[in-house]
């Protein structure tokens, strides 16, 4: 009995393999094309705004004058949000990783993930209707007792819809991101390091300080950067909560607040026509570049750490 093993006399590539690999590759290439499209079309549609002035730019002399206060507001809101969110998020991640029994920590982690699942427009509602009014007394207190600081110069907003309120809402929205990544890194801390610290008679906090934080430092930094990327681009919560007037100021509790790029687009796009649309798209491109830079830096930190560890 002789069976032939070879069934074909041409190059042994199967049609199914070629097609399937082709589709998979095509899907990958589609992503390249889509991203190139994002960059190309935004540039194309944003370009006319560079030559504009006057009404299309809300009265600014040129595009740079138009976008600068927005960039300022975007950075201010995002950085404030991070100042609030990072310590809380790391605290929460520590609780989940080291302070609760394993069974409970799963449930707790899920509750924090739920925070990430809430749509941003609902955060916006909550910010206007609940958080703002609740914070009003705090702002009045801050104005009264800390008014000598430029941040709290006031006069305190009567609605609570200030950039500080918007930042707090943003902080709540980025907190689950930072928590999730930090928690992951904390739980990856080598058991050996932790036991070594424990064996020296360290308390739990000393163990965390000696063996967990050094190991997790770069991960925590990149988690924060990713949170920053999210905070920079977040639109609706800010658009709804903030009562913006496009000024450049460090006063955090008054009723005249800087706006952010994203919120400015959301507020003005539905009614915009002509060059105004181009100006908004150009500002979107600026936002894209900023978030890209931040995310890129975050990934670079992660990649470097991974290389060092492997």
Torsion of CA 10, 11, 14, 17, to 10 degrees: -160
| Cα–Cα distance, 283 to 266 (Å, whole number) | 12
Stretch that binds another protein, among 23-31, 48-56, 147-155, 243-251 (CB under 8 A): 23-31
Q: Would you count residue 213 as binding another protein (CB under 8 A)?
A: no
CA-to-CA distance for 39 and 286, rounded, in angstroms?
11
- The Cα-based distances of 136 to 78, 88, 169, 253 in angstroms read 21, 22, 15, 9
User: How far is Cα 94 from Cα 203, in angstroms, rounded to an integer?
Assistant: 15
| Piece of 9-17, 154-162, 189-197, 243-251 that binds another protein (CB under 8 A) | 9-17
Listed in sequence order, the residues at least 6 apart from 302 whose beta carbon sits closer than 8 Å to its beta carbon are 218, 219, 222
- Asked if 306 touches another protein (CB under 8 A), the answer is no
Q: Which C-beta is closer to another protein: that of 153 or that of 237?
A: 237
- Phi, psi (degrees; rounded to nearest 5) at 54: 80, -130
* Span 216-255, contacts to another protein by CB under 8 A: 226, 229-230, 232-236, 239-240
**For another protein, how many residues bind (rule: CB under 8 A)?**
106
Residue among 73, 109, 124, 227 that touches another protein (CB under 8 A): 124
Of the residues 58, 76, 189, 205, which one makes contact with another protein according to CB under 8 A = 205
- Is 199 a residue that touches another protein (CB under 8 A)? no
3-state secondary structure of 295: helix
Binding status of residue 75 toward another protein by CB under 8 A: no
Applying CB under 8 A, the span of 149-157, 210-218, 244-252, 275-283 interacting with another protein comes to 275-283
Rule CB under 8 A: choose which of 120, 187, 188, 218 binds another protein: 120
Task: Find the shortest distance in angstroms from Cβ 294 to another protein.
Answer: 8
The Cα–Cα gap between 238 and 235 comes to 6
Q: Which is nearer to another protein, 64 or 114 (CB)?
A: 114
Most distant CA pair in the chain, distance: 100
- Min. distance of Cβ 70 from another protein in angstroms? 12
CA separation for the pair 45, 68 (Å, rounded)? 20
Q: Is the Cβ–Cβ distance between 166 and 239 less than 8 Å? A: no
Sketch the per residue contact string, 137 through 176, with another protein: x for CB under 8 A, - otherwise. x----------------------------------x--x-
Given candidates 117, 192, 199, 310, which one binds another protein under the rule CB under 8 A? 117
Q: In whole angstroms, give the CA distance from residue 110 to residue 90.
A: 16
CB neighbour class for 30 (10 Å; exposed up to 12, middle 13-18, buried from 19): exposed
192 touching another protein, by CB under 8 A: no
Rule CB under 8 A: is residue 47 a binding residue for another protein?
no
Which listed range, 107-115, 156-164, 191-199, 245-253, lies at the site for another protein (CB under 8 A)? 107-115
């Amino acid at each position: 009995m002789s069976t032939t093993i070879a069934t074909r006399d041409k190059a042994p590539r199967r049609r199914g393999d070629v097609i399937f690999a082709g589709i998979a590759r095509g899907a990958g290439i589609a992503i390249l094309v889509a991203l190139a499209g994002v960059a190309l079309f935004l540039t194309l549609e944003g370009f006319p705004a560079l030559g504009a002035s006057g009404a299309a730019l809300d009265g600014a002399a040129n595009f740079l004058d138009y976008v600068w206060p927005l960039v300022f507001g975007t950075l201010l809101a995002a950085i404030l949000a991070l100042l609030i969110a990072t310590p809380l998020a790391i605290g929460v991640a520590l609780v989940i990783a080291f302070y609760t029994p394993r069974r409970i920590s799963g449930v707790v982690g899920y509750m924090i993930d739920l925070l990430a699942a809430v749509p941003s427009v609902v955060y916006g509602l909550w910010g206007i209707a609940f958080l703002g009014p609740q914070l009003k007394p705090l702002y009045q207190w801050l104005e009264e007792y800390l008014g000598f600081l430029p941040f709290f110069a006031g006069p305190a907003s009567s609605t609570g819809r200030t950039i500080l309120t918007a930042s707090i809402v943003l902080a709540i929205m980025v907190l689950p991101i930072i928590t999730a990544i930090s928690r992951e890194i904390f739980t990856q801390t080598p058991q050996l390091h932790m036991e070594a610290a424990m064996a020296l008679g360290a308390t739990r906090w000393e163990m965390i300080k000696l063996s967990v934080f050094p190991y997790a430092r770069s991960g925590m930094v990149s988690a924060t950067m990713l949170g920053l990327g999210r905070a920079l681009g977040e639109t609706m919560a800010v658009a709804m909560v903030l009562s913006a007037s496009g000024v450049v100021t460090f006063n955090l509790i008054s009723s005249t607040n800087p706006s952010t790029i994203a919120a400015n687009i959301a507020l003005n796009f539905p009614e915009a026509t002509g060059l105004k649309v181009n100006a908004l798209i150009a500002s979107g491109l600026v936002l894209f570049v900023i978030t890209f830079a931040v995310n890129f830096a975050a990934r670079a930190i992660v990649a470097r750490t991974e290389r060092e560890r492997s």
